[in-house]
């Protein structure tokens, strides 16, 4: 979207040159910010795809001199890496599904219904995150063994869902608050029952916010090491696998691992991004 | 088209009665305006008719059906919201078609009805746009078109013009009145703007504190308010109310105003004791000081308004507003005679502040005292932007 300067009341007319400088500064800041995030990603990618020896080159060349997939293939073929990768993807997908399935209705309830103890509930949801997970580690592992879900994909996903839910609930509740209630009421006068009004009006309008919650949940699950290490042994997720197996590995394998860790997050964010920006760009208040 | 019967409807909000035992019948094809200051319960009553609020007592009948327990979608109503509530993620066409699609109307019918509704409101060129690409006035039209496309038995409107700027509102008011006159649907229209109520309604129901005060045609409400509140809320300037004492004098009766003189009562008026003299500014004539049979007063302020002058006078301990021709020269502090048209006086009981002889038509909300400053603000057009 291009900025519309006439829409903003200005104390005085700014000259063309000032505006140009202002815009230049914004682009400069955006570029620096992008570099800050993209440069390490790029360097990891370069290191992952160059021959092993050049990982120790100094000064390091920014442009890859020789491309080689040896390192990355060796890493992927190492025992259990591919399995761990898919396990991680499945865990993250289950987490994503569960936390939206449980969190979005909870957020909607907080946003729309004035029920007894709403404030306390909101606080309690957040307070669960104030509880250090380290304290829970042993009881959790024991409980998981008792239930027979230790060392399983579902077990890790449940843990991640528990970790993500408070934020999902809070994010989605603020999203639904921003959708005017009158829109749902209008839908109801036009023939919808409350569920139809939600599905046809509130849900599409809430999509950008739900996308943000989804990205957050995905990243949380994908990055989590602690819960995964506690709860898995023979069936680790990718981060757990990398942490336990690769700490002693040479640095070029670590680069390869880092690159493999990055890719799914980038892909997921790429697809969710367009919902984040809003399908119709501007929303009427 | 249908008659609406509201029977003893009560709605509680956290202990206060937003609608308090309200009974009102709206005729088939009638344009009824619910008028009152903010917080008087008019919107609550409208939302109860729409089914968006559950009522705590009474019943609501639309046509021959008791709809009290029905959800909004089964009431055969359409509603225009104050915020318009157009769906931002749908084109104007889809907005107008929304209700028809929910009804699973045939595609050809949807197309035809959407275009008809759009043409009625002159927005056929906007059908492919999203609401974000339209102006406030156009969104208001979209909301009305969306309601009309449903061909509802009853059209409910909640302050549909209050978010428009003053000039546009004036235009939209006349346009809406013409449109609804053409369609002839039963309409309930909520507003706090007394000018809107006067200019649009077949009948006006004035509400206060959850109760009906008066239900009449606009001119009766204006000329014969049932109590001091209605007289003060309707009209700009509000009706003047002067305390007086009715006495027998020379075979007839007069009302004596302290330090100002006396007014001869019209034939047949049979009053005694303390009363309130209610008179509209345009029924007060300013004449030369010392004329016979007039009250005397002193000019405080003269406000030239182009079509007329608005004059504020000191009359005894009270102030009185009068309108004069624009060429009528008056100086500040000038002493004048005030001739009051005896036939146009509205006499009120001094204690209850209810019009004498009006008990039969006064609603349960009558006689709750004069308009408060807050209520007054809500009723003036200037404040309702």
User: What was the pLDDT predicted at A284?
Assistant: 38
pTM for this prediction = 0.80
User: What was the pLDDT predicted at A4?
Assistant: 43
Residues (pLDDT < 70) of chain B are 1, 376-385
User: What was the pLDDT predicted at A283?
Assistant: 44
- Inter-chain touch A190–B102, beta carbons under 8 Å: yes
* Cβ atoms B323, B281 nearer than 8 A: yes
Closest CA–CA distance from residue B201 to any residue of chain A (Å)? 23
Rounded CA gap, B104 and A274, in Å?
31
Residues A198-227: pLDDT tens digits? 999 998 888 888 888 888 898 889 888 888
Instruction: Give the range of the structural domain holding residue A95, as residue numbers without chain letter.
Output: 80-246
User: What was the pLDDT predicted at B383?
Assistant: 37
Chain A residue numbers touching B156 (CB-CB < 8 A): 189
Asked whether residue A262 is domain-assigned, the answer is no
Buried b (16+ CB within 10 A) or exposed e, B171-206: ebbeebbeebeeeebbbbbbbbbbbbbbebbebbbb
- Inter-chain touch A196–B102, beta carbons under 8 Å: yes
Asked whether residue A89 is domain-assigned, the answer is yes
| Encoded tokens for A59 | 């000064």
A281 touches chain B (CB under 8 A): yes
- The CATH number of residue A157's host domain is 1.10.3720.10
Chain B residue numbers touching A193 (CB-CB < 8 A): 71, 73
Asked whether residue A186 is domain-assigned, the answer is yes
User: What was the pLDDT predicted at A236?
Assistant: 84
User: What was the pLDDT predicted at A52?
Assistant: 72
Asked whether residue A256 is domain-assigned, the answer is no
At residue A31, the 3 state secondary structure works out as helix
A193, with CB counted inside 10 A (0-12, 13-18, 19+), is: middle
Buried b (16+ CB within 10 A) or exposed e, B39-52: bbbbbbbbbbbbbb
From residue B84, alpha-carbon distances to A187, B114, B140, B157, B379 in Å are: 12, 17, 6, 10, 22
Asked whether residue A108 is domain-assigned, the answer is yes
How many distinct structural domains can be found in chain A?
Answer: 1
Asked whether residue A285 is domain-assigned, the answer is no
Nearest to A189 among B79, B83, B86 (CB): B79
Q: Give the position of tokens 């998981």.
A: A144
Closest alpha carbon within chain B to A181:
B85
Asked whether residue A52 is domain-assigned, the answer is no
Asked whether residue A46 is domain-assigned, the answer is no
Residues A104-124: pLDDT tens digits? 989 998 888 878 888 888 888
User: What was the pLDDT predicted at A280?
Assistant: 43
The strand ranges marked E within B334-384 are 335-340, 346-349
Chain A residue numbers touching B98 (CB-CB < 8 A): 187, 190-191
Rounded CA gap, B326 and B313, in Å?
16
Closest alpha carbon within chain A to B149:
A190
- Domains of chain B listed by start with CATH number: 4-223 (3.40.50.300), 239-355 (2.40.50.140)
Residue B150, phi then psi, degrees to nearest 5: -75, -10
Residues (pLDDT < 70) of chain A are 1-14, 54-62, 64, 276-285
């Amino acid at each position: 979207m291009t900025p519309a300067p006439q829409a903003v009341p200005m104390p005085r007319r700014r000259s063309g040159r000032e505006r140009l400088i202002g815009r230049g500064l914004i682009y400069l800041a955006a570029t620096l910010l992008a570099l800050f995030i993209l440069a390490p990603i790029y360097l990891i990618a370069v290191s992952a795809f160059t021959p092993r020896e050049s990982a120790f080159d100094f000064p390091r060349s920014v442009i890859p001199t020789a491309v080689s997939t040896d390192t990355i293939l060796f890493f992927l073929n190492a025992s259990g890496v591919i399995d761990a990768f898919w396990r991680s993807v499945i865990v993250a997908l289950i987490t994503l599904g569960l936390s939206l399935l449980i969190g979005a209705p909870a957020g909607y309830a907080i946003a729309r219904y004035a029920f007894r103890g709403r404030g306390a509930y909101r606080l309690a949801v957040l307070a669960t995150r104030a509880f250090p997970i380290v304290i829970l580690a042993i009881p959790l592992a024991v409980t998981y063994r008792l239930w027979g879900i230790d060392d399983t994909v579902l077990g890790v996903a449940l843990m991640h869902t528990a970790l993500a839910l408070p934020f999902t609930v809070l994010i989605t509740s603020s999203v639904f608050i921003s959708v005017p209630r009158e829109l749902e009421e209008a839908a109801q006068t036009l023939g919808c029952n409350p569920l139809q009004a939600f599905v046809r009006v509130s849900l599409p309008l809430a999509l950008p916010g739900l996308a943000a919650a989804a990205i957050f949940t995905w990243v949380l699950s994908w990055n989590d090491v602690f819960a995964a290490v506690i709860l898995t042994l023979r069936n680790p997720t990718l981060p757990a696998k990398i942490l336990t197996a690769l700490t002693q590995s040479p640095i070029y394998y670590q680069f390869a691992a880092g690159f493999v860790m990055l890719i799914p997050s980038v892909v997921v964010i790429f697809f969710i991004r367009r919902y984040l920006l809003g399908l119709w760009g501007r929303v009427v208040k | 088209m249908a008659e609406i019967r509201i029977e003893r409807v009560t709605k509680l909000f956290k202990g206060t009665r937003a609608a308090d035992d309200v009974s009102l019948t709206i005729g088939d094809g009638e344009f009824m305006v619910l008028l009152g200051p903010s917080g008087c319960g008019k919107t609550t009553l409208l939302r109860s008719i729409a089914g968006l609020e559950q009522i705590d007592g009474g019943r609501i009948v639309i046509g021959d059906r008791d709809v009290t327990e029905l959800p909004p979608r089964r009431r055969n109503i359409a509603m225009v919201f104050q915020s318009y509530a157009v769906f931002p993620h749908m084109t104007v066409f889809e907005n107008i078609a929304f209700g028809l699609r929910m009804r699973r109307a045939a595609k050809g019918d949807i197309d035809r009805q959407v275009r008809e509704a759009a043409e009625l409101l002159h927005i056929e060129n906007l059908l492919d746009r999203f609401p974000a690409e339209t102006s406030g006035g156009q969104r208001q039209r979209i909301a009305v078109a969306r309601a009309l496309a449903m061909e509802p038995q009853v059209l409910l409107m909640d302050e549909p013009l209050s978010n428009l700027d003053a000039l546009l509102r004036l235009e939209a008011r006349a346009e809406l009145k013409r449109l609804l006159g053409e369609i002839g649907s039963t309409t309930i229209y909520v507003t706090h703007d007394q000018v809107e109520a006067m200019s649009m309604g077949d009948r006006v129901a004035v509400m206060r504190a959850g109760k009906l005060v008066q239900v009449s045609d606009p001119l009766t409400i204006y000329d014969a308010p049932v109590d001091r509140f209605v007289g003060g809320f309707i009209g700009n300037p509000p009706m003047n109310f002067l305390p007086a004492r009715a006495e027998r004098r020379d075979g007839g009766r007069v009302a004596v105003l302290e330090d100002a003189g006396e007014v001869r009562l019209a034939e047949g008026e049979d009053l005694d004791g303390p009363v309130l003299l209610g008179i509209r500014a345009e029924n007060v004539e300013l004449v030369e000081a010392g004329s016979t049979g007039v009250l005397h007063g002193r000019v405080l302020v003269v406000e030239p308004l182009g079509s007329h002058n608005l004059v504020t006078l000191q009359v005894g301990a009270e102030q009185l507003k009068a309108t004069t021709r624009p060429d009528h020269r008056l100086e500040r502090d000038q002493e004048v005679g005030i001739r009051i048209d005896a036939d146009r006086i509205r006499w009120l009981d001094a204690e209850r502040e209810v019009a004498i002889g009006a008990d039969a038509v006064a609603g349960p909300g009558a006689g709750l005292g004069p308009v408060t400053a807050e209520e007054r603000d809500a009723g003036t057009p200037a404040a309702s932007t």
